[in-house]
Structures are given as structure tokens and as C-alpha cells.
Amino acid sequence: MLPLLYLSLPILILSLFLPLQTQAQTPPAIGTFPIVLNSTSPLTLAVKPICGSLDSTNFTQVNAGIDLNSIKTLVTFGDSWTSTGANGTVPLPPVLHPPLPSAGARNSENRRATNGFMWSERLQMDLNAKLLDYSWGGAIIDNFAYNTTTPLNASAVQRSDFASQAALFALQGRFLDALVPEETLYTVGFGINDNGQFSIAGGDIDIAINTYVTKLAELQAAGAKNILIHGMYTSHTFTTTLQSRIFAYLVDSHSQNSTNIAFVDLQPLFGSISATPSAFGYTGNATCLISATTIVGGCEEPDTSVFYIPGHPSMTTHGLINQYTQAVLRECAI
């Protein structure tokens, strides 16, 4: 299995270099914090999705036509809840470099906002599929949609957005994979940072919705036949409106274009975890680390913590996101 490879690789490299070393290198003291990846999960998915129908005016959990068994390529767009740090390249192995908390590169942004594999990598492994990941931490749908990010605002800070992620995919995706429509699943997950930016200084939700739909349409025009949307893990007025409008577009896509579509809402999963964490096997701190920049002062049980970095799931919670996503696709198929 892949996880074992990552477990044994550093040991192998270490043993190759040991004879060459003249002076023993003592690693910095980091207590008992685990630095090699053990992806065995002590958690159980203790919630079943409540399925909805395409008639719903609100977003709801449904799968109209996506057959996971035929998927050989995953193309992912989104934020730090999805990003492997790859930005369209090959993801680095999920190795931790303490005191950096994120699995991946030692000295660049190519890291995951967690301590191991992301949900998308677990799905990829379960399907024996290839992953093309365009998601990026902090990403929003469209920089022009919020006063804090618009390029027209001189003091604004621009972020990765769905528009730029889709543009990079359009440029190089077809060289990386055959992208056979029936065998390719496109996943999209935005909303966390959109809600965040909107709540700071306002913006125009219609721009966000219009861009979201336009990017989906461009993917469809380029051959996308299977589209899965993740609804965000908490409820907000902004994201409820956004998600309902995107859901309505998916329903139209299914009826007008025969696009296979699925909506997987993460809120019921995280609502249920928050209500009864022990049913899932959580025993540790709800959030393991005290900051996003260091493991110092963090907990010793990341595997039984819901969040690893504040606001970001632990590797084992990413495992539950994968299981829940597959449960919706299986159990809510219409």
C-alpha cells in the first residue's frame, strides 16, 4: 500500500546515508509528535447522509449519474480543504517537517493544510485514479467579487480563485491526461474563504455565482461529463444562497446537457461530528494545533482530533470526508 511506502522511504534513505555521516545529527526535540505517516484510522463514519432529490429548491445531497467505478482521473478545484499544494503538478509525498505543521514540502508553499493525505488523495487511491489538483489554500471563486480582493481596490490582497485555477487547467490539463469524459470526475469546493472575505468588507455575490457557473460551463464545453460539488462544512447565509444557486445550475445541467452531477454537503457530517464526537472515535482535542505555523504546543493525538490546524481537518478527518463523499454518491444515487 502507498502509505507503507511513505513510512519506509525515509527509513531507507536514512539507512543509505548513515554510513557516510561522520557526525551524528540529533534531530530537534519534538516530544512524541509523530512525523512519519501512519494512515490507519481509528475513526468510524458514524453518520449516514440524508438524501434529497433534484426537485429541491435548496441544495441537497444527491447523485444523478456519477459512477465512481468508471472514474480513472480526478480533477480538483478548491481551497485548503482540498489542496495538496500541487497546483497542477505532481503532489509531494505527505511528509511532515517539524516544526512546520503541514505535510509536504519543507520550504515552499507546496504543502497540505493537514498532517497527511487529503480526502481527494484517499478517493484517488480507492479508485486507483490519477489526480490533477488545481486547488490552493485561501482560494475564492472570483477576486472581483469581494471588496477585500478586487484588483480595483489598491489595498486589496488577491488570492487564487476558481477563474485562475480553471485557466491553468485549460492551459495544461489536456497534456497531463487524456481526460476521457466518462472516466473523468471534476470536483469543486469553494465557499469558506468567499464567506470570510464577504463578511470583512462586503462584495457582490452575483459576481461569485456568475463566475462559478461560467467556469462550470467552460469545463462542460471542454468535455466535463461528471461534476461533484462539495458544500461547505458550516452554514452561513452567504454560502446557503451560493450553494442553492449552484445546485439549481447542476439540476439544469443534468436535464439539459445530461451532465452527471452530485452535490455532497459537508455540513451534516461536521454537524454530527460536533454533536457526538465520541461516536466517530474522536477522543483528543477538537483542534490539535494552537496555530497554523507550528506544531509546538500542539496535542499528541492528531489522529483523534477533528481539526489538525485551526479550521482544517486532520488527516483522519479527511478520511471521513472521503468516506462520506462516497456514501453520498452510493446511497443518494437517483
279 binds ligand NAG (CB under 6 A): no
Nearest residue to ligand NAG on Cβ basis: 202
302 binds ligand NAG (CB under 6 A): no
Q: Which of 148, 184, 211, 260 binds ligand NAG (CB under 6 A)?
A: 148
Report which secondary-structure segment, H or E, holds 307.
strand 307-309
Are 318 and 117 a contacting pair, CB within 8 Å? yes
Q: Which is nearer to ligand NAG, 127 or 269 (CB)?
A: 269
**Minimum Å distance from CB 124 to ligand NAG?**
20
Are 261 and 213 a contacting pair, CB within 8 Å? no
How big is the chain by its Cα radius of gyration, in Å? 20
- Strand partners of residue 261: 64, 227
Residues of this chain, 211-230, that bind ligand NAG according to CB under 6 A? 217, 220-221
Q: CA distances (Å), 237 to each of 157, 229, 234, 243, in order?
A: 24, 18, 10, 10
Q: Which of 43, 118, 262, 299 binds ligand NAG (CB under 6 A)?
A: 299
Count the Cβ atoms, other than its own, within 10 Å of residue 32.
Answer: 5
Piece in contact with ligand NAG (CB under 6 A), picked from 119-127, 179-187, 273-281, 291-299: 291-299
51 binds ligand NAG (CB under 6 A): no
**Minimum Å distance from CB 121 to ligand NAG?**
18
> In this structure, is the dihedral angle defined by the CA atoms of residues 250, 255, 260 and 266, taken in order, positive or negative?
positive
Residues of this chain, 80-139, that bind ligand NAG according to CB under 6 A? 87-88, 136
The answer to whether the peptide bond before residue 99 is cis (omega within 30 degrees of 0) is: yes
CA distance 325 to 4: 24
298 binds ligand NAG (CB under 6 A): yes
Q: Which is nearer to ligand NAG, 272 or 285 (CB)?
A: 285
Q: Which residue carries 467579487 as its cell?
A: 145
Where on the chain is the footprint of ligand NAG (CB under 6 A)? 38, 40, 42, 58, 87-88, 136, 147-148, 153, 155-157, 160, 168, 201-202, 217, 220-221, 235, 240, 252-253, 256-257, 259, 267, 285, 290, 297-299, 303
